[in-house]
Structures are given as C-alpha cells and as structure tokens.
Amino acid sequence: MKSLKKILIITPLIFLLGLGVLLALHEYIAISTKNLVYDEIEKLPDSSTVIVLGASVFSDGKLSPILKDRIDAGFELFQRNKAKQFLLSGDHKTDDYNEVDAMSNYLLEKGVPKDKILLDHAGYDTYDSMYRSKAVFHISDAIVVTQEFHLPRTLFIAKNLDLNYVGYIAETRIYKPSNQLLFREKLANLKAIWEIILDQGPTTLKNPYNE
C-alpha cells in the first residue's frame, strides 16, 4: 500500500517536472533565435537562397495548406528579389510520396525558371534539411521559410551548425496549427538538442533522385 502511495505521489511530480523542462527548453530556443526571425519583407536581409521546408502533400500531388503557405511565402521573397534561388527540402523516401517535386511543380507553374530551383529529396526532417543545405548544397547564407511555431527550432539547429541563416514567417492564411501539433513541436526540441549535442550527421549525405 505504501509503495502504491509513493507511485501516486511521484508520478504526477515526474510529469510536472518533464512538462517544466519542455516549456523551459521551448522558451530558451525561442529567445535565442528571436533576432533571426522576420515577419516583414522590407526588414529581411537579402540572401543567396530561399530554403522552403517540406510538409505533407496529398496523394494527387497537391500541396497541403501548411506547405502551400510556405511555398507561397518563398515565392513572394523570390519575386521581391530577396533571394536568387530556391532550395526545396523535403521527404521523398518512396516513389509514391514526394514532397520535393510537388513544391517544384508548383513553382514551375508560377514561372520560376528550373535552373533557379535546387531539390533536396532527403530532407527527411528539420535537422537533415539544415545539415544537408550546407554539406550537400554548399549554401552559406539563406532565408528559411516555414510557420512561426516551427522557425525557432529550425534556426536553433542552423545556428548550432554554424549556418548564417535567418527565418521568414509563412503566414498561416489557410492553415492554423492545432494544439497537438504545437505540443509535438515542443517535444521535437528535445530531439534537436540531442542531435546537436551528439554532433549527429544527417540520415544520408547522398542526393537521391537528383540528376
């Protein structure tokens, strides 16, 4: 009985401690990258490349709302001459799921020249995308485009990989993040810290599917 009481007391304390760590880490990452996040194009420094991070696509190849918001924001930066080219980094683990070509096709339909679009088919997660952007594509400065909730972790990874990147917030005109997704982002901060501490490499340094 005493053991059960101890478990009933300790379990919520452990939960609260873990939650506190998640919230503190989230706040630390947000504060440490705050000066790298922009929401106004006029204040955004010019860069060589716009990096658009992948998100889910539908079975017919159409962009999900969250990804469409990202690619539209990146396209606007390109139109405003804030960057000279794109790096589209996303998941293409199988032949029947391809975030990268979906983004590329969308930009091509908008009139972006093919030679202005670099394709990273092995951007399996945020860490891989950031690591490979320099190691594989040799991009030294960039504007990373994603949603506001995702930018702090993205730029924290980039900063700790010694990348000279800033971030631009993709307006959520269509997509609103759920509470579940926001909590998952806080959990993902732990993974990012772990990868940085271990100085971990990406899943692969090869560039599958590219010519």
CA distances from 96 to 55, 76, 113, 207 (A): 15, 29, 25, 18
What is the pLDDT at residue 210?
58
H helical segments located in the chain: 2-33, 65-79, 99-109, 126-135, 151-160, 179-197
Average pLDDT over residues 76-99: 92
Burial of 37 (0-12, 13-18, 19+ CB in 10 A): middle
Q: Which residue has the higher pLDDT, 118 or 209?
A: 118
Tallying the residues shown for the chain, one arrives at: 211
- Asked if the model's pLDDT at residue 154 lies above 90, the reply is yes
pLDDT of 1 reads 56
pLDDT of residue 101: 94
* Beta carbons of 126 and 160 less than 8 angstroms apart: no
Cβ neighbours of residue 44 closer than 8 Å, sequence gap 6 or more:
38, 77, 82, 143, 166, 168
User: pLDDT per residue over 94-145, tens digit each?
Assistant: 878 899 999 999 999 999 999 999 999 999 999 999 999 999 999 989 999 9
Tell me the C-alpha distance between 65 and 70, whole Å.
9
Is pLDDT of 42 > 70? yes
Query: pTM for the full model?
Result: 0.86
CA distance 128 to 206: 12
The residue-averaged pLDDT of 25-29 equals: 83
What average pLDDT is seen over the chain?
A: 87
The pLDDT value recorded for residue 9 is 58
Residue-wise pLDDT tens digits, 178-203: 667 666 777 788 888 888 888 888 98
CA distance 163 to 176: 29
- Residue 28: pLDDT over 60: yes
